[in-house]
């Protein structure tokens, strides 16, 4: 993997650890990503980067039996206002977010 990707992944892991102290979730889960940014990345690359970084941290594994639903919502904003908002919902219980 390219060094730039590895560096961004390490930073993403650091930020996720800052915000999540619980054990990895087992699922089944619905993942909602609200991405605010310039719009220069492909959705599959964005999802893949998050799945790599959060695997074993937010969820036990990123296989489809654990995360069968993923929704990506993108909004164009200036680079200085870029952010990812991640919501994780259990599929077997209402709509209360776990993260």
Q: What is the CATH number of the domain that holds 11?
A: 3.30.1330.70
Check residue 99 and give its pLDDT: 66
Q: Which domain range does residue 65 map to?
A: 3-90
What are the residues whose beta carbons fall under 8 Å from the beta carbon of 36, sequence distance 6 or more? 74, 75, 76, 77, 81, 82, 83, 84, 85
Contacts 24+ apart (CB under 8 A), 92-95: 92/28
Q: Which sign, positive or negative, has the C-alpha torsion 40, 41, 42, 47?
A: negative
**Average pLDDT of every residue of the chain:** 89
Considering the domain boundaries, does residue 7 fall inside one? yes
Beta bridge partners of 77: none
- pLDDT for residue 23: 96
99 belongs to a structural domain: no
Give the integer Cα–Cα distance in Å for 56 and 60: 5
Q: Residues in the chain with pLDDT < 50?
A: none
In a domain, 96, yes or no: no
Return the pLDDT at 93. Answer: 62
57 occurs within a structural domain: yes
Decide: helix, strand or coil at residue 36. strand
pLDDT in tens, 72-99: 999 999 999 999 999 999 987 666 666 6
In this structure, is residue 95 part of a structural domain? no
């Amino acid at each position: 993997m390219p060094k730039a990707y590895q560096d961004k992944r390490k930073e993403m892991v650091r930020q996720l650890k800052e915000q999540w102290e619980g054990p990895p979730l087992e699922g089944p889960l619905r993942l909602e990503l609200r991405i605010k940014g310039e719009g220069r990345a492909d959705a599959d690359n964005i999802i893949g980067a998050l799945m790599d970084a959060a695997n074993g941290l937010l969820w036990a594994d990123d296989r489809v039996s654990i995360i069968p639903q993923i929704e990506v919502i993108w909004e164009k904003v200036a680079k200085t206002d870029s952010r990812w908002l991640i919501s994780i919902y259990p599929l077997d219980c209402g709509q209360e977010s776990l993260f």
